[in-house]
Structures are given as C-alpha cells and as structure tokens.
Chains A and B, each alone.
Chain A
Amino acid sequence: MEDDRIVDLYLERNEAAIEETSKKYGKRLFSISKNIVRNNETAEECENDTYLRTWGLIPPNEPRTYLFAFLARIIRNISLNRCRDDNRLKRRAAVEELSSELEECLPSGENTEGSFDEKQLREQLNIFLEGLPKEKRNMFMRRYFYGDSIETIARRFGVMKGTARVTLFRLREKLREHLEKEGIRI
C-alpha cells in the first residue's frame, strides 16, 4: 500500500493503518531498533511502541511523502531511550559508542557547556550533510542515524572496513570544523 493511503488510514482512525505500516515497514523498523538495542525482544517492543506513538502523532502530522523517515525517527528515539534507561552494559554500550564518537565532533573550549540552541544545531547538521558527497553522507547517516556497525557499513558500501572507519573519522573531523566555524557550542 502506498504511504499516502496508509497516512489516510491513520487520519481516518482506522486501525488497519498500523497493520499496513507493520506490513510495509515493520522489518525495517525492527532492524533499526535492533541495531541500537541489540536484542530481539526489546526491538520488538520498540517496534510496537513506535506504532502506538505514530498512532498518536498522525494526525496532526501527515507524513505522506516521508512516512518511512517519520517512523524511523520515532523508533530510533524510542530505542535510544530504551538503551539509556537500561542498565545492562551491553545495550548501553551501543549508544555510548556512538555518543563518544560524536563527542569528538564537538568543538573544544572552556565554559561552553549548555550554550547551544537545538534548532540551530539541527540546521547546521542539515547544512553539513547537504555539503557532503552522497555516498559519504549516507555512510554518516548509516552510522549515526541507523547505528550500523563499521563492518556493516563497509559491506554495504563495498569498501574495506578500514576505509569505512577512516571515512567516518574524517567526517567527524569535518563536522567538528563545521560546528566550530558556525559557533555551535554544547
């Protein structure tokens, strides 16, 4: 079923919307969550939570042309939060790994804690991504949005693991320079 129609079902408050969403995107959503929570049962729970959250968000939202991205964001957030709330080291480790890598992107400096604007940060990330070659941008997103491992990224893009690692490192460097230049402080 087309996204447009699925969104219509949500707007009509037709529960088939969830079924259709699950049918069309369930596995991919599960996969996003699994990358983050690294556990089948938890990923399933996150997937179900995503449907519930989506049910509550449409309406007022009408993501007719970007339903998957809409869902992906939701499940990513839910999964990240589950990891952060979870005391089991293995799960938290996944998020901490990504988080610590991204910390390298933050400009250094004293007394900078807290002085940032979320909206501004988001805008600058968009500008940064827009300026990247498509393949590099996708690699960056696969790693930091989808939570893919280096190995998975290497396989997906047909490069050596070392190449993927170095590319991501350089992208982080570039992001740090960009944020620094734009005066983003966290």
Chain B
Amino acid sequence: MKGDILLNAIGEVDEKYIISADRSGSRLLRTVLTGAAACLCAFVVAQAFVFAVDSGRICMIDGHLWFIYGELQHKGLCENTEMPPYREPAAAGSPSEYYDDPKALGASLTDKYGEYTPSAGDLVSYTDDALEKGSTELVHNGRYYVTDGKKVTVYEEKGSAAVIAEIDFPAIRMFNENRLVIFVGMSDDGEGVIVRAYDPSDISFKKPWYEYYISGSFEGMFGINNENMTSRYIVLTSTPQGKTDEGKTRLQINGKDINRDDESAVILGEPSTMSYISAITIKPITGDYSDRRKFYGDIETVFVDDHYIMPEVRSFDKERLTVRQSELYVFGHGISSGAGYPLGENCYKGKLSLGDWLGIDPQTSPSDSAKVTDIVSAKSCASGAFVRIIGTDSEYRRNSAPDTSVVAMTADLLYGDVRYRESEPISLENAVTDVTWSSGADITVTDGKQKKTLHTDFDGLSVSLG
C-alpha cells in the first residue's frame, strides 16, 4: 500500500516530535490540576519521595506513585514513604477484591500497564499548560485578593471597597490553597522566586505561614497531597544556576546547592529543548498537624472504582472541611464500575446513615450501583473521581452549635483533593438525624423535626443524579 510509505516516513521524523508525543496529554492534566496550586514550605530531604511529572495524572496507590493518562499507565515506587495503615472496609455492599487487597491492585495494574520507576534526575517533559500558573486576583473564603505586582490588597469581598489588609509583597501570582493563600513573587535579586503563604484566619497578614526562596524563574506550581496529611507541592522554576562542579544542573534552595540526585528534587525538562526545570517537593514544617488531626476524621483509604485506592485522601484538606470523624461521610465512585462504597467504620457510627447519604435508595444497600453508573457516565473520566461529603460545619466557622449546622461538599479526589465546592451551610434546631439524596444535586437533611435542602450543584464539580 502506498500508505505504507508514509507510515514508514513518519517513523523517520525529527526526534523532538517523537519525544514530545511521548510526553503528551496535557489537557487532561490541566483539567486535573486546575486549582491545585499552593505551597507549604520546606523541601523534603529526609524522605525519599521521587516526583516525576508527566503529562497525566498523578496519584498514589499503596505507596506507589502512579502516572495516569486517563487510565493507569506508569507506576513508580515511592520508597520510604510511610503509608497509612490499611483498614478493613467496614461497609456492606460488595467491595471489590482490590479493596480487600490493595497490593493485588498494584500487581494487577503493573501487569496490565507496565511499570516505570522514576529516578531522581530523570528527564521528563512538562507542558506549560500542565502547570497551575496562578492569577493576579483570587477569591479565598469569600475575600478578594488582588495584586498590582507591588502589594496584595485584601478586600472584604469582590467589588467591595472595604480593605481588610494590605500585604507588602510583590506578588506576581497568587494561588488559592484550601487553607492558605499563596503568593509567588520575584526575589529582590531578580534571580529567584519567593513563595510566601498566609493563613487568612490571621487577618493582620503580618506573619506568613512560611516563606521560601527558590532560585530560578518562576514557571508554575502544582500540588499533590499525600501521607501524614501534609500537602506536598512542587514549585517549578527554570534553573539559570548553571552546572555544579560535577557537571550536573545546579538546583538551589535557600542558597544551598541541592544535589539533583537527592530524591527530594527532580530535574524536569525536555531533552530536545534542554529547557530544564527544577521541581522541588515541599511540605509544611510549621503548624501543629497532630492537633488538627483530631478534627479531621481519619479517612485513610477511599475506594474509588476498581482502579483507585487513594490513600492520599487522608490529606484531603480536612481542616477546611472540618467535619469531625464521627460525622464525616465519604463516598467514592469511579469511572467504569460505578459502584460506590461507604468507607470507614465511622461511617456507621455517625449520626447519618451512609446508605441514606448516598441517596440512591436510602432503604437499600449502597451497592445499588445502577444509578451511580449513570452519574459516572455523566461526568466521565476527564474529571475523574468525586467524593461527596456532608458533615457538620463545625470548627472552621466556629459555630456555637456545630452539630446543627450542616454543609455539603463535593470534591475532586484525584489528588486527595485541592478542588472542592461546598454548599451554603444550613442550620437546624437539632443535630441531623437523616439525610437523603433523592434526585438532582440537592441533599435533604432532617433533624427529625425540620427538613432542609442543601444545594450542591456546584459549578464544574457536581454530578447530577440521573
């Protein structure tokens, strides 16, 4: 066939096109990463945590780092990463075999998709649009932040003239992390970036949660949550620092050379262009996470479809959700199987029935998957897995009667999540006794006397029940 000639000729095109296509798939990652930006300080030296960024999703399964292009494809071991203990599923229904044995899942997927173990210093590509670039204005918790490149002004809300604070920081980009607001600005010497984060609950904005200097020009950043409820974020900068004595690309943090073989740092770049990028994993070093943890609940594993078991969900920003363990309900559903399973023993100890919460049919088992499949197909895999949570709106808003104030949430779980929406809280006279999710996107809650509806058709995140 004459087409064969062309087919052969395509095999001889310039290497850069072959390499670029090998790394392609940016739109998916862009979808996944939207809003996933933030930074929590101090790069990780002690923990061997290798990051490689490819044009796909990243998640962790049973201690393994997976790169996903729509479906699981490559796996890299994350050694020395302390993973949460596996918990037996407490739910009724029909948990899959993988739920019983996450390791079997890993093995199965390896068989199916092959294994790829990234090494520190691996060259991997990235695409500009795969990164969260941040913006010059953002809304966080209702407040409106805007930067003019010299200072950040915080308004009561967008459109309001009421200035809450002015932060003397030359932010060029801002990120909206669930709990923190993150600013990125050029350093005074013009050769690096300053990443500074504030906890907005301190409206003085005098003391940043952390501040970090990273050499190079700012390229973008994104986050991934993982173990120990610490978010781990990557700041990408170009690396104008040249070469080390060993001839390796120099990467510095706070003026200190980081050996690119150090597993906390991976040099990313595209061989064809040699445009190296520094990637640094960082995690918080301040703040008492152990204290916060008691508010968070202890969801360690969420079963999401046959494909995913995502331990990093425990790093879901539970502080923001601030539902207490006994009142937290999680339901994951996935892409193909559609079956949903309640998770965690506390789902049964809480005041709400998880089966009811699912609302597929409160009177029957949550393993009734038919309607869940409808949901899934409505959203498909581009947006991945979702979790819907309902809990009392307690600590974060410091309500006087938290048990009677209820909020519903929908979150994208691909990363354990940085993206989510929550409904306006509603108040009941007494604690919630029952929840139904009958149709549409609304959830009805009752305290036995009153019945109220939570509207959950959050833009871009909700999945309507069919």
Instruction: List residues of chain A with CB under 8 Å of any chain B CB.
Output: 1-3, 27-28, 30-31, 63, 65-66, 68-70, 72-73, 76-77, 80, 84, 95-96, 98-106, 113, 116, 118, 121-122, 125-126, 129, 134-135, 137-139, 141-142, 144-146, 152, 155-159, 186
Contact = CB atoms under 8 A, between A and B. Distances in A.
Nearest to A120: B9
- Among B18, B116, B119, B127, the most chain A Cβ lie within 10 Å of the Cβ of B18
B13 A155 contact: no
A113 B127 CA distance: 41
A138 B74 contact: no
Q: How large is the interface on B (under 10, 10 to 19, 20 to 34, 35 or more residues)?
A: 35 or more
Contacts, number: 153
B21 A145 contact: yes
A95 B4 CA distance: 8
A56 B114 CA distance: 27
A106 B2 CA distance: 8
A122 B19 contact: no
Nearest to B24: A138
Interface string B101-130: 000000000000011100101010001000
A2 to B, nearest CB: 7
B20 A125 contact: no
A157 B5 contact: no
A146 B18 CA distance: 9
B6 A158 contact: no
A121 B5 contact: yes
Given A156-B28, A158-B70, A105 B11 contact: no
B20 to A, nearest CB: 6
A113 B5 CA distance: 11
Contacts of B123: 2-3
A118 to B, nearest CB: 7
Interface in B19-33: 19-22, 24-28, 30-31
Nearest to A34: B114
B162 interface: no
A158 B382 contact: yes
A65 B271 contact: yes
Nearest to B19: A69
Contacts of A77: 8, 11
The 9 tightest CB contacts between A and B, nearest first, are A155-B70, A141-B21, A103-B3, A138-B24, A27-B114, A99-B3, A69-B15, A66-B15, A102-B3
Nearest to A139: B24
Contacts of A2: 121, 123
Nearest to B121: A2
A73 B6 contact: no
A102 B381 CA distance: 30
